Each structure stands twice: as C-alpha cells, then as structure tokens.
Amino acid sequence: MMKYIGLDLGSVTCGVSKSDTGFIAGHVKTIRFKPDDYNEAIDKILELLEVEKPDIVVMGYPLLENDDEGPRAKLSKEIGEIIEEESGIKVVLQDERYTTKDSEEFLIAANVSRKKRKKVIDQQAAVRILQYYLDKQKK
C-alpha cells in the first residue's frame, strides 16, 4: 500500500498531513521555521521524510486565479524539486487554491476556537491538499 505525505508550505510554517491507506488524509504536525528561511524548512521536511518514509510527497501548489504560476507557486515548485532530489521521494504538485479558506470555514463550523484554529489551520490545509490529490487518483 502506498504511503503519502502532504505539505502546505507557508512563509513561517509548513502544515503536514499523511495517508497510510491512500484513501483518507489525516493531520501530522506543523513545522515551524524562521520567516522565509526555506533552507531550515527543507531540512526539517527531509528529517520528517526520513522518519515517515512515504512513497509520494504531495506539495501544495498555489497557482493564481488565472492558473498562472506566481512567485509562491514557483517557490513551491523549486522546493519540491530540492526535496525530491535530496530525498529520492517523488514530489507531486497539487493545486491548493482555496484550501486555507476551506479549512478555516470547516474549523469555524466545527466550533474550533480562534486560538486553536491558528494552531491547526496549516495542518488542516495540508490535509485538504493531500485529500484532493487522493480523491483525484481514485477517479
């Protein structure tokens, strides 16, 4: 059975999700790093991948509304390439538009406090990114 890790990379955090079944994504953790210190982020992600040993990493790909690749999408693509090269694990990009907004709405509907939402929003977005990818694979 394939094992997956999902990543939602931000400027100071990276939400992490996983699926051991290939059907349902779940929360793992939020990796924190210094603002825009992507070398630190990459190192922490690589450490996580050594422990989790996934077959595929699904990385959020923040395309612009018009489907163009803006600076954040280019950065995610570059970091995905580095992670793939360093780890030997295939990295696929998954359109992540609206995942944070959808996650925020989901957490509000679940009556999660603002303080708690702030702590788990990146993980929830990573879950959505990975779940979208898994659902697409089933079709």
Domains along the chain?
4-138 (3.30.420.140)
What is the average per-residue pLDDT within 121-135? 90
What is the average per-residue pLDDT within 120-137? 89
pLDDT digits (tens, 9 = 90+) for 48-83: 999 999 999 999 999 988 989 999 999 999 999 999
| DSSP SS3 for 112 | coil
In the block, tokens 């879950």 appear at: 127
Angle, in degrees to the nearest 10, between helices 99-109 and 114-138: 120
pLDDT digits (tens, 9 = 90+) for 70-116: 999 999 999 999 999 999 999 999 998 877 777 778 778 877 787 77
